[in-house]
Amino acid sequence: MTIEYITLKPSGDKMPLIGFGCAKIEPDATAEVIYNAIKTGYRLFDGGSNYYNEKEVGDGIRKAIADGLVEREELFVISKLWNTHHGKDHVRLALEKSLQDLGLDYVDMFLCHFPIALEHVPIETKYPAGWCVPGKTQVTRARAPMHECWAAMEACVDAGLARNIGVSNFNVQMLMDLLSYCRIQPSLLQVELHPYLQQRILVDWVQRQGIAVTAYSSFGPASFAAGGLKHAKSVQSLFDNPTIKDIAAKYNTSPAQVALRWSLERNVGVVPKSLSVERMKNNLEALNWKMDEEDVQAINQLDMGLRFNDPIIKGWDLPIFY
């Protein structure tokens, strides 16, 4: 199996194009799942404090290292700054808490999870904090400007706590503002990206700035429908889409691999998740074949601008994508 990488700027670090997503895994199962993913061949792990399983992700990583499956330097570990810790005095504390839970000295990538500053919740009060301050039922925005937050993230790089920093769920306007004052340019943008939400203008512009792009939710509505989101249940599964199924049949592969390969053809990284070792292996195989341009173009016609991970859908008064 050939592992492909994106070379990140400005560090020059190599980030695997395909990794393993740590969201929506029950904590009790997480350590074993992460261990199995490492054993299967995954080297990038996309985690975050608000996934509620960062300690267990660390348990799986440490067991794999202890058993000689991998060395720390071979892994690319991502964590994320949650919205309640954007204050300039809170950023490093949040990263140090993630490192403590992961049992690591540094992360390879530290992402600002959302371009949203919410009222601070101290770690000792509630962790992970979630969207609302304890006792409230709606979000409360905080006066924590991104330029101060980003400077604090840059300081984490200076301190050796994070090798790279980047952003998630940012649009072009937000990135233009960030690029106007940053000392360390973001290495990565992570966004929801799948055949039903292709974001071509965003991806093309970001890549032209020398910023890598990674897709989450590569399977579109699948995990959201499983979680009960009506918005996701109302559309056809990507795995049942005739175009995706026909292309999968052409290459004698799975619809899941087709969805992943479509992103890889754009030099966009992917972080699929599965609890099944067989599906882990199947997803990783997306690295090992090429898709004809005519098939890429056929999938390009499926774009509906259909977003599933949106604070508005969750019921929060945060229309960041509008």
* Predicted TM-score (pTM) of this structure: 0.97
Neighbours of 299 (CB within 10 A): 23
pLDDT in tens, 30-84: 999 999 999 999 999 999 999 999 999 999 999 999 999 999 999 999 999 999 9
Taking the domains of the chain in order of start, what are their residue ranges?
5-219+266-275
Give the model's confidence band at 287: pLDDT under 50 very low, under 70 low, under 90 confident, else very high: very high
Give the model's confidence band at 1: pLDDT under 50 very low, under 70 low, under 90 confident, else very high: very low
Residue 191 pLDDT? 98
Residues tagged in the binding site annotation for substrate? 113
pLDDT in tens, 178-212: 999 999 999 999 999 999 999 999 999 999 999 99
> How many percent of the chain have pLDDT more than 70?
99
Residue 234 pLDDT? 86
CATH fold of 5-219+266-275 = TIM Barrel (3.20.20)
pLDDT in tens, 115-132: 999 999 999 999 999 999
From residue 149, how far is each of 85, 112, 115 by CA, in Å? 9, 9, 10
Look up residue 2 and give its two tokens.
């050939």
**Distance between CA 252 and CA 245 in Å, rounded?**
10
Per-residue pLDDT at 114 exceeds 70: yes
Residues tagged in the binding site annotation? 113
Active site residues: 51
**Distance between CA 264 and CA 17 in Å, rounded?**
7
2 DSSP assignment: P
Q: What is the mean pLDDT of the chain?
A: 96
Q: Which residues contact 103 (CB under 8 A, 6 or more apart)?
A: 58, 59, 61, 62
